[in-house]
């Protein structure tokens, strides 16, 4: 009885009637419209507000004027928000399906702990001080720990509970190391406390170029996994009977989640809450079908992340509040309200 089994299965696992499918497709279009709106807001709003004309000018007729420079700067952090948000949402949804655990977040399998340990090592022992210098360390740490969890979790015989426990155990050991370094080295503490809250302000063209390939491959892989993961939601035996290859699906899901979460964490620090919350919100109106959950999560997660970034720029103008803090403080209450109001769709 380690993992809560859903007490009730939803009756509508059967193919959705055409009207529902139309509604869901329309909803997807509306979500894209909201995303575009939020991205425009992110370009226009900040320490200096720009008009839509100026944004347009900066985007398409860049002449190097003051407002054009501002737009270019905001564009890179907006794009980073788009990519990282989609990555976090997708990896959260995949991991929740893989482990069949509603508490699974992108950090669950030790990926964040690996990235954080690598960053703290980079700061203390290699003297790396620039944000773009962290990226490769963080990504390497995340990937190494993801692989380690996979092998310790039993590789080909991995079960959800074993993966979760292996991830937890490795996180426990790594956080001990991180805390020890932060206690012994004040300089590391000074930098880590800003890195751990998570921020999009590191967004620059070079950061984006570094993580882009991983994000694109990871996104494609995650979206392709919707069908086999759907089968696995019904339990290992049923999934096998339905023809799903359990080991391959698990290995590919781990790979996708590690690439997505590792790259996003490398670029903007450990922002786990997006990946935890958005799949739950999405599931409350799409139901348990991952073919809908994954695209919705990929579109709505950036809405949350970029929206939170914009709000963080407004509330403490001209300074800014890190996006990780705003996401959780705004998203937390919304999440609790949703959990209370709707009959949350179980995994």
Partner 1 sequence: MKTHRAVRTPGGLSVRLDVRALTVVVLLLLAALTASVVLIGTGDFPISAADVLRTLVGEGDAGQEFIVTELRLPRVLVGLLVGASLGLGGALFQAISRNPLGSPDVLGLGQGATAGALTVIVLFSGTADQVAVGALVGGLVTGFAIYVLAWKRGVHGYRLVLVGIGVSAIVTAVNGYLLTKSDIVDAARAVVWMTGSLDGRDWAQVWPLLALCVVLVPLVLANSRGLRMMEMGDDVSSALGVRVERVRLVLLVSAVLLTASATAAAGPVAFVALTSPQLARRLTRSPGPNLVASLCMGAALLVTADWVSQRAFGTDQLPVGVVTGVVGGVYLLWLLVTERRAGRI
* Interface residue list for partner 1 (CB under 8 A): 1-4, 7, 101-103, 108, 152-154, 157, 159, 161-162, 164-166, 168-177, 179-180, 182-184, 186, 189-190, 193-194, 196-197, 273, 276-277, 280, 321-322, 324-329, 331-333, 335-336, 339-340, 344, 346
* Residues 200/204/207/36 CA torsion (nearest 10 deg): 60
- Kindly tell me the burial class for residue 223, based on how many C-beta atoms sit within 10 Å of its own C-beta (0-12, 13-18, 19 or more): middle
CA distance 251 to 163: 11
- Note whether 254 and 109 are within 8 A (CB): yes
CB of 124 to partner 1, least distance (A): 14
**CB nearer to partner 1: pick between 21 and 193:** 193
Tokens 């959950």 correspond to what residue? Answer: 293
**CB nearer to partner 1: pick between 140 and 175:** 175
CB of 320 to partner 1, least distance (A): 12
Q: Closest Cα partner for 287 from 29, 4, 23, 1?
A: 23
**CB nearer to partner 1: pick between 74 and 100:** 100
CB of 145 to partner 1, least distance (A): 12
Q: What is the DSSP letter of 107?
A: T
Joined tokens for residue 236: 């290992």
**CB nearer to partner 1: pick between 41 and 169:** 169
Which residues touch 64 (CB under 8 Å, ≥6 apart)?
Answer: none
CA distance 346 to 60: 46
CB of 262 to partner 1, least distance (A): 20
CA distance 98 to 117: 25
**CB nearer to partner 1: pick between 101 and 258:** 101
The per-residue DSSP string of 170-183 comes to: HHHHHHHHHHHHHH
**CB nearer to partner 1: pick between 136 and 175:** 175
CA distance 168 to 170: 6
CB of 182 to partner 1, least distance (A): 5
**CB nearer to partner 1: pick between 213 and 332:** 332
Element (H, E) at 199: none
Phi, psi of 244 (to 5 degrees): -80, 140
CB of 216 to partner 1, least distance (A): 28
CB of 201 to partner 1, least distance (A): 13
**CB nearer to partner 1: pick between 77 and 283:** 283
- Note whether 118 and 105 are within 8 A (CB): no
Phi, psi of 239 (to 5 degrees): -60, -45
**CB nearer to partner 1: pick between 27 and 102:** 102
CA distance 115 to 138: 4
Joined tokens for residue 75: 């564009």
CB of 198 to partner 1, least distance (A): 8
**CB nearer to partner 1: pick between 33 and 334:** 334
CA distance 337 to 340: 5
CB of 176 to partner 1, least distance (A): 3
> Does the bond joining 215 to the residue before it have cis omega, within 30 degrees of 0?
no
CB of 40 to partner 1, least distance (A): 26
């Amino acid at each position: 009885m380690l993992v809560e089994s859903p007490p009730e299965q939803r009756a509508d696992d059967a193919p959705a009637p055409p009207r529902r499918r139309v509604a869901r497709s329309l909803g997807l279009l509306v979500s894209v419209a909201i995303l575009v709106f939020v991205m425009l807001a992110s370009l226009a709003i900040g320490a200096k507000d720009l008009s839509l004309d100026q944004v347009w000018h900066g985007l398409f007729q860049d002449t190097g004027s003051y407002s054009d420079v501002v737009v270019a700067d905001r564009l890179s952090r907006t794009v980073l928000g788009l990519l990282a948000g989609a990555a976090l949402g997708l990896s959260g949804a995949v991991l929740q399906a893989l482990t069949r655990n509603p508490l699974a977040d992108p950090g669950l399998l030790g990926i964040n702990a690996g990235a954080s340990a690598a960053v703290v090592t980079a700061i203390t022992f290699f003297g790396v001080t620039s944000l773009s210098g962290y990226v490769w360390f963080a990504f390497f740490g995340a990937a190494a720990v993801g692989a380690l969890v996979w092998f310790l979790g039993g590789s080909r015989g991995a079960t959800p509970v074993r993966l979760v426990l292996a991830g937890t155990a490795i996180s426990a050991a790594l956080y001990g190391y991180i805390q020890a370094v932060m206690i012994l080295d004040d300089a590391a503490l000074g930098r880590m406390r800003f890195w751990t809250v998570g921020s999009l302000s590191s967004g620059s063209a070079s950061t984006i170029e570094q993580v882009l390939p991983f994000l694109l491959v990871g996104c494609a892989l995650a979206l392709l996994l919707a069908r086999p993961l759907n089968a696995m939601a019904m339990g290992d035996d049923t999934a096998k009977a339905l023809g799903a290859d359990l080991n391959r699906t698990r290995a590919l899901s781990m790979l996708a989640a590690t690439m997505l979460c590792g790259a996003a964490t490398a670029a903007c620090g450990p922002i786990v809450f997006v990946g935890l919350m958005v799949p739950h919100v999405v599931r409350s109106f799409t139901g348990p079908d991952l073919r809908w959950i994954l695209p919705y999560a990929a579109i709505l997660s950036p809405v949350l992340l970029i929206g939170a970034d914009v709000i963080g720029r407004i509330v403490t103008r001209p300074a800014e509040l890190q996006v990780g803090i705003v996401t959780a403080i705004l998203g937390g209450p919304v999440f609790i309200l949703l959990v209370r109001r709707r009959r949350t769709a179980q995994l």
